[in-house]
Structure 1
Amino acid sequence: MERTLVLLKPDTLARGLVGRVLGRLEDAGLKIVGTKMRWMDGELCRRHYFDLEERHGAEVYRTSAEFMQRGPVIALVLEGFDVVATMRKLLGSAFPSDAAPGTIRGDFSHHSPAASRATGKGVANLVHASANPTEAAYEVALWFDKDELFDYRTLVESYTY
């Protein structure tokens, strides 16, 4: 089974959407094997977004870092068959106007005037998910120690077909 990191960003918590987002992940059959709530300090932010400045510029990195440090985040490790690709489909596009209805971002994200100053597209898109399996492995190891991840069987996994 594949694993991926998912971060419920400060806007998810501030808007009271944690339960609704978690419900969608569980409804999709994804298993939570690790979870914690924490503040994303400057060092963790630099390590997590190590290539953001290179890809999108200093202003995008600065705005993203400020946003991610404005409140706590909930970090999850999810497990499932092809979980990275599944999460990307569940989330939808990073930009609210491009995200399809029925996706998490399509239903809940919005444009943010503060982020707009930096990117011109300013979004508060609720959830981060690893982009590919290599990034997932890096991010899971960055956020979680091995003893914080759990192996267990869900009721669905115990069924025989």
Structure 2
Amino acid sequence: MVFISLYICLLCAKTTLQEFGTPVDTCLSANESNEKENDCEMSNTKERTFICIKPDAVQRGLIGNIIERFEQRGYKLVAMKMMKASKSHLEIHYQELQGKPFFKSLVDYMSSGPVVAMVWEGLDVVKQGRQMLGATNPLNSMPGTIRGDFSIQTGRNIVHGSDSLSSAEREIAHWFKPDELCEWNSATATWVYE
């Protein structure tokens, strides 16, 4: 039990807030002011996030492993499609990175093969999903995270996840039409949520 608690604290200690940024602390230390909200606590907000399995993960046969992680956590899949995204579609998706030196190679890489675009639903799924993915640089990702277990380099970090609610809303609308989002009730919901 101590190991599990320590592991959860370690997972929460370092995470990345931007797809190609550097790891930043998201949890407050015990010495910080009690007036600040501790980001390690799960909210009661049911929300949706966009997760995209990148071409390297598709080629390596990791689609099932990534989906399994989200399902085992208790999140509900409400949309999924496999597609080869066009460069123009990806340029819009990554528009916030347009001035970065790696932008062209990122778009080239993401358009080099099929991706699996997904929408997951559940409590605090945007933040928790990012923690499940691990740091953008896989070398900074903890074992047990998707990137920590399956990738080595930032340029081949196997999966994208929305970094905020507003990003999730924008990305979901960009990748999916409203009628592609499947509203359904999971039979296991009462076993996941109080």
* Fold conserved between structures, TM > 0.5: yes
Does the alignment pair 1:86 with 2:128?
yes
Contact map agreement 2:55 2:114 (CA 8 A) in 1: yes
2: distance between equivalents of 1:3 and 1:47?
20
Match of 2:163 in 1: 131
- Letter of the 1:70 counterpart: S
TM-score by length of 2: 0.73
Q: Deviations over 1:113-156 (max 9, x none)?
A: xxxxxxxxx43111100000000000000000010001111112
Match of 2:188 in 1: 156
- Matched residue SS, 1:64: helix
1: distance between equivalents of 2:174 and 2:112?
20
Counting aligned pairs with the same residue, the percent is 38
Deviation (angstroms), 1:63: 1.0
Contact map agreement 1:4 1:79 (CA 8 A) in 2: yes
Match of 2:117 in 1: 75
Residue in structure 1 matching 2:137, options 95, 100, 105: 95
Deviation (angstroms), 1:21: 0.9
Does the alignment pair 1:16 with 2:61?
yes
Contact map agreement 1:96 1:123 (CA 8 A) in 2: no
**Structure 1 runs of 4+ off > 6 angstroms?**
none
Q: Deviations over 1:23-52 (max 9, x none)?
A: 111011111000111111011011101111
Higher helix share: 1
Residue in structure 2 matching 1:110, options 144, 152, 168: 152
- Number of aligned positions between the proteins: 148
Contact map agreement 1:109 1:123 (CA 8 A) in 2: no
Deviation (angstroms), 1:53: 2.1
Contact map agreement 1:31 1:79 (CA 8 A) in 2: yes
2: distance between equivalents of 1:47 and 1:157?
35
Deviation (angstroms), 1:158: 4.8
Contact map agreement 1:34 1:76 (CA 8 A) in 2: yes
Note the residue ranges of structure 1 that are not aligned, 5 or more in a row: 112-121
2: distance between equivalents of 1:42 and 1:157?
38
- Letter of the 1:48 counterpart: H
